[in-house]
Amino acid sequence: MGKLPLEGIRVIAIGVVWAGPFATQLLADWGAEVIRVESLHHFTFLTRGFPMIRPTKELVRARPTWVTAYPDWDPGEKPWNSYPIFQAHGRNKLSCTMDLRKPKGLDLFKNLVAESDIVIQNNPTDTMKKLGITYETLREVKPDIILVAMPGYGSTGPYRNYRTLGSNLDEAAGHTWLRRYPDMDPSSASVILFSDASGGAHGAFAALAALRYKKRTGKGQFVDLSQVETIMPYLAEPIMDYTMNKRVQDTLGNRHPYMAPHGCYRCKGEDRWVVIAVNSQEEWRALCEVMNRPDLEADDRFADVLSRQRHQDELDAVVEEWTSEHENVEVMHRLQEKGVAAGAVLDDRDAYNDPHLKARGFFQEVTHPDVGTHPYPGLMWKASKTPNAIRTPPVCLGEHNEYVYKEILGVSDEEYAQLEQEGHIGTEPAPDAF
2-11, 79-88, 185-194: the lowest-pLDDT one = 185-194
DSSP code string of 147-207: EEE--TT-SSSTTTT----HHHHHHHTTHHHHHS-TTS-GGGSPP--HHHHHHHHHHHHHH
What does each C-alpha distance from 299 to 281, 302, 399 come to in angstroms?
14, 6, 68
What's residue 52's pLDDT? 64
DSSP 75: -
Render pLDDT for 16-52 as a digit per residue (tens, 0 to 9): 999 999 999 999 999 999 999 999 998 877 899 877 6
The type of residue at 425 is I
Cβ neighbours around 91 below 10 Å, total: 24
The type of residue at 321 is E
Give the pairing of strands 262-266 and 33-38: unpaired
- The domain limits of the chain are 10-225+359-433, 262-352
- Directed axis angle between helix 194-217 and helix 19-29, to 10°? 50
Using CA atoms, how far apart are residues 67 and 128, in angstroms rounded to an integer?
Answer: 27
Render pLDDT for 219-269 as a digit per residue (tens, 0 to 9): 999 999 999 999 999 999 999 999 999 999 989 889 999 999 999 999 999
Q: State which H helix or E strand residue 129 sits in.
A: helix 125-131
Which pLDDT band holds residue 168 (cuts at 50, 70, 90)?
Answer: confident
What is the percentage of the chain residues whose pLDDT exceeds 70?
Answer: 99
Using CA atoms, how far apart are residues 242 and 75, in angstroms rounded to an integer?
Answer: 48
Using CA atoms, how far apart are residues 228 and 199, in angstroms rounded to an integer?
Answer: 8
What's residue 431's pLDDT? 87
Cβ neighbours around 127 below 10 Å, total: 15
The vertex-81 CA angle with 86 and 56, nearest 5°, equals 105
Query: Do residues 186 and 177 lie in contact, with contact meaning Cβ atoms separated by under 8 Å?
Result: yes
The CATH class for the domain spanning 262-352 reads alpha beta
140-154, 196-210, 242-256, 407-421: the lowest-pLDDT one = 242-256
Using CA atoms, how far apart are residues 248 and 368, in angstroms rounded to an integer?
Answer: 49
Which residues, 6 or more positions from 82, have their beta carbon under 8 angstroms from its beta carbon? 70, 71, 75, 76, 368, 370, 371
Using CA atoms, how far apart are residues 378 and 88, in angstroms rounded to an integer?
Answer: 10
Using CA atoms, how far apart are residues 338 and 279, in angstroms rounded to an integer?
Answer: 13
Mean pLDDT for the chain? 94
What's residue 279's pLDDT? 96
Query: Do residues 109 and 37 lie in contact, with contact meaning Cβ atoms separated by under 8 Å?
Result: yes
- Options 3.40.50.1370, 3.30.200.20, 3.40.50.10540, 3.30.70.2740; which CATH number does 10-225+359-433 get? 3.40.50.10540
For 292-319, b/e burial (b = at least 16 CB within 10 A) is ebeebeebeebeebeebbebbeebbebb
Residue 123 has pLDDT above 80, yes or no: yes
What's residue 1's pLDDT? 62
Residue 2 has pLDDT above 80, yes or no: no
Q: What is the dihedral of CA 148, 149, 153, 159, to 10 degrees?
A: -150
Q: What is the pTM of this model?
A: 0.94
Residue 317 has pLDDT above 80, yes or no: yes
DSSP-assigned beta bridge partners for residue 375: 365
* Backbone angle region of 292, left / alpha / beta, with phi > 0 → left and psi within -120 to 50 → alpha: left
Render pLDDT for 262-295 as a digit per residue (tens, 0 to 9): 999 999 999 999 999 999 999 999 999 999 999 9
Cβ neighbours around 116 below 10 Å, total: 19
Which residues, 6 or more positions from 366, have their beta carbon under 8 angstroms from its beta carbon? 91, 373, 374, 375, 376, 390, 393
DSSP code string of 275-287: EEE--SHHHHHHH
Three-state DSSP class for residue 36: strand
Query: Do residues 230 and 199 lie in contact, with contact meaning Cβ atoms separated by under 8 Å?
Result: yes
Domains 10-225+359-433 and 262-352 share a fold: no
What's residue 191's pLDDT? 81
What's residue 259's pLDDT? 96
